[in-house]
Amino acid sequence: MSKGKKRALIIVVVILLILLTIGICYFLFTKKDTKDLEYDDNATTGIMPGVDVDERRKELQTLLDRSMIAFSINTSPVFLNGTAEGNLLIENPGNNAKLLKVSIIIDKTEEEIYASKYLKPGTYIENVKLDKVLEKGTYDATAYFLAYDEETTEYIGQTGAQITLTVQN
């Protein structure tokens, strides 16, 4: 065998040895990794309830912020008589992004004397006629603002405002 052929044979043998080593290592390590990465079928993706307080608080804050409503109302509307219109001045501001309904309940009798239909954001009602005829006098009442989702009309929640109605005659 010539000197050149010997050298070529040695190189081929060395290359074969290197490839064999790489192959053995790959086989060993790959097998070990696969064994470690067995996923549990019972695991659920997400944050476990009650564990991350800050994350839970953020979720609750999002829900509360979505329920925020802005409203305006006259605290002392006046009606000339029981069947006349009065200046209630109820408003659903444009930045609300919710539908509002207004219900007025007399505190003493818990009787509903007025119920509006839906008010779109950016609308207001200046004067209203009550649904019940009231005698001359002054009445403490609560105006409840009921908020609904603008798209689905799903009920969100309510809040109230204390007002005093005056019927003059």
Partner 1 sequence: MKKKNMFLQLALSAALLAGALSTTAHAAEATSNRDIPVGGSGQVEMVGTIEPTILSVTMPSFVPFNISNSLSTQNKVISPRINVKNNSNVPVQVDVAKTNIDISKLKNTTWSSTGAVGPNQIAIGLKKEDAPNEMPATLANARWLKENQTENMNVLILDSNQEGAMYVVGTLGDKVSESATFNVTPTFVVSRTSITE
Stretch of residues binding partner 1 (CB under 8 A), selected from 3-11, 40-48, 111-119, 141-149: 141-149
Q: Does 73 bind partner 1 (CB under 8 A)?
A: yes
Contact of 87 with 78, CB cutoff 8 Å: yes
CA distances from 72 to 75, 126, 163 (A): 9, 11, 12
Dist CA 32 CA 126 (whole Å)? 76
Q: Does 113 bind partner 1 (CB under 8 A)?
A: no
Query: Tokens 């052929």 sit at which residue?
Result: 5
Stretch of residues binding partner 1 (CB under 8 A), selected from 7-15, 19-27, 32-40, 58-66: 58-66
Contact of 125 with 90, CB cutoff 8 Å: yes
Residues 72, 83, 109, 127: which binds partner 1 (CB under 8 A)? 72
Binding mask 144-163 for partner 1 (x = CB under 8 A): xxxx--------xxxxxxxx
Residue 70: count other Cβ atoms within 10 Å of its Cβ: 15
Contact of 102 with 144, CB cutoff 8 Å: yes
Residues 21, 61, 83, 109: which binds partner 1 (CB under 8 A)? 61
Contact of 130 with 84, CB cutoff 8 Å: no
Q: Does 92 bind partner 1 (CB under 8 A)?
A: no
Contact of 128 with 97, CB cutoff 8 Å: no
Contact of 131 with 115, CB cutoff 8 Å: yes
Q: Does 97 bind partner 1 (CB under 8 A)?
A: no
Q: Does 81 bind partner 1 (CB under 8 A)?
A: no
The CB-of-76 to partner 1 minimum distance in angstroms stands at: 6
Binding mask 6-45 for partner 1 (x = CB under 8 A): ----------------------------------------
Name the residues that contact partner 1, by CB under 8 A.
Answer: 50, 53, 56-57, 60-61, 63-65, 67-77, 87, 89, 91, 142, 144-147, 156-163
